[in-house]
Amino acid sequence: MKKIIYTAAVSFLVLSPLTGVAENSKELTSKNTAKYERGYRYNIGGWIYLHIEGEPYERGYQHGYLLADEIVDVIERWRNVFPQKKSWDWQKRSAMRLFWSKYPDEYREEIKGIADGVADKGGEINGKPVDYTDILTLNEMYELLSRFRTYLIHPVRSSLKWLLTRISKTGSLNKPHVGHCSAFIATGEATADGGIVASHSTWRATEETWFPMYLTERWNVILDITPSSGYRIMMTTSPGLIWSNEDFYQNDAGMILMETTLSPLGAWTKRGDPVVVRARKAIQYSDNIDEIVEYLLKNNNGLMANDWVMGDTKTGEIASLELALH
């Protein structure tokens, strides 16, 4: 299969003020735009720009209501990748058992809001209204897959091996993870004006990666969040996620956060917090590099090994943090 590289033109976000491109509702005139309360969306250059704001449940509801069709579509794509009759139900039970208790109330409420927004718009999975367990599972698919791969003996691992030999869309899971997601950051003498330059490729959809083009073509959301606490955030992501997953973040305190996934996957702990929570906290509540590092390190579960790269546009300081379990 010919390698396809998806490189996002997201560098325009870096170092620019986090102002909405169309914050005035009067500008939302295209048939590809929609507004709900303080949230709005519009399509531009193959991307969906989504702005949400307010309390956790409120902003989550805006997200779910405005991207209901896209959220249902991406869940259906995941279900099709693992087409065993009860696979999505099993994944939901696993996500609830393994991760839900690790989510703080703020992010639980945001996820519930997303689910209710989708359901109220008529969104269904397998004939049932979308609920918060669907949205949690959507957010945790990376870490669920990571756990499958690291079990030495487990019935699900055996089932996954059987599946990998028969379904082309998941054939890449049986190959070594080669870590093609990439990011770079530079500053000082390495840049023309001494300021920070940062860029990130979104997804590289090939046979050698975990996620086929069938899934990654849905990673086309620019999510702009103005939370009731913390800093305003902008990230590239997929419909229904409360974190980037790709990962490209910035906030209005001038912080940039990206990562390149390390391989192979190694040790992890059940006691730690998922990367969804740690990364989201890091970009929402940090105004310097030390705080970002603290959030990423605290209660790390080790399930997503990364070379995190970060920068502070206020000072020009940049840093790299290679983080697995330890």
Report the CATH number at residue 183: 3.60.60.30
Look up residue 131 and give its DSSP letter. -
At residue 217, the pLDDT reads 81
pLDDT surpasses 70 at 55 = yes
* Tens-digit pLDDT profile for residues 252-301: 999 999 988 776 566 666 788 999 999 999 999 999 999 999 999 998 88
Residue 201 scores a pLDDT above 70: yes
The answer to whether residue 266 sits within a structural domain is yes
Give long-range contacts, CB 8 A cutoff, 24+ apart: 102-107: 102/272, 102/273, 102/274, 102/277, 102/299, 102/301, 103/136, 103/274, 103/276, 103/277, 104/277, 105/56, 106/56, 106/229, 107/56, 107/242, 107/276, 107/277, 107/280
User: What 8-state DSSP symbol labels residue 166?
Assistant: T
Alpha helices in 24-104 (DSSP H): 56-66, 68-81, 87-99
pLDDT band at 206 (very low <50, low <70, confident <90, very high): low
The pLDDT, as a whole number, for residue 158 is: 45
Whether 31 is in a domain gets the answer no
Of 84, 78, 75, 77, residue with least CA distance to 123: 75
In a domain, 19, yes or no: no
In a domain, 117, yes or no: yes
319 found inside a domain: yes
User: Would the pLDDT of 205 be above 70?
Assistant: no
- Give a yes or no: residue 286 inside a domain: yes
Q: Assess whether pLDDT exceeds 70 at residue 9.
A: no
Cα distance between residue 154 and residue 179, in whole Å: 25
Averaged pLDDT score across all residues of the chain: 81
What pLDDT, on a 0 to 100 scale, did the predictor assign at position 221? 96
For residue 225, list its beta bridge partners: 52, 233
- Number of Cα atoms under 13 Å in the Cβ half of residue 231: 23
Return the sign of the alpha-carbon dihedral for residues 61, 112, 169, 199: positive
Q: Is a pLDDT exceeding 70 seen at residue 249? A: yes
- Candidates 259, 308, 260, 256; CA nearest to 287 is 256
**Is residue 214 one of the residues assigned to a domain?**
yes
In the predicted structure, residue 18 carries a pLDDT above the cut 90: no
Domain that holds residue 266: 4-14+38-323
User: What single string gives the DSSP state of each residue in 200-240?
Assistant: E--EEESTTSSS-HHHHTT--EEEEEEESSS--EEEEE-TT
Assess whether pLDDT exceeds 80 at residue 171. Answer: no
Hey, what are 71's tokens?
A: 């959220």
Residue 86 lies in a domain: yes
Q: Is the dihedral of CA 127, 164, 238, 29 positive or negative?
A: negative
Average pLDDT over residues 37-53: 96
The count of residues in the chain is 326
Count of structural domains within the chain: 1
Beta-carbon contacts of residue 173 (< 8 Å; ≥ 6 apart): 145, 149, 160, 164, 210
Q: Which of 25-34, 192-201, 279-288, 306-315 has the weakest average pLDDT? A: 25-34
Q: How many CB atoms lie under 10 A from the CB of residue 175? A: 12
Q: What are the tens digits of pLDDT across the range 82-140?
A: 766 678 899 999 999 999 999 999 999 999 999 999 999 999 999 999 999 999 999 99
Half-sphere exposure of 178 (CA within 13 A, CB side): 11
| Among candidate residues 317, 259, 316, the one with its CA nearest the CA of residue 290 | 317
pLDDT score recorded for residue 318: 97
Question: If residue 248 lies in a helix (H) or strand (E), which one and from where to where?
Answer: strand 248-251
pLDDT, position 14: 45
Please report which confidence band the pLDDT of residue 182 belongs to, taking 50, 70 and 90 as the band edges.
Answer: confident
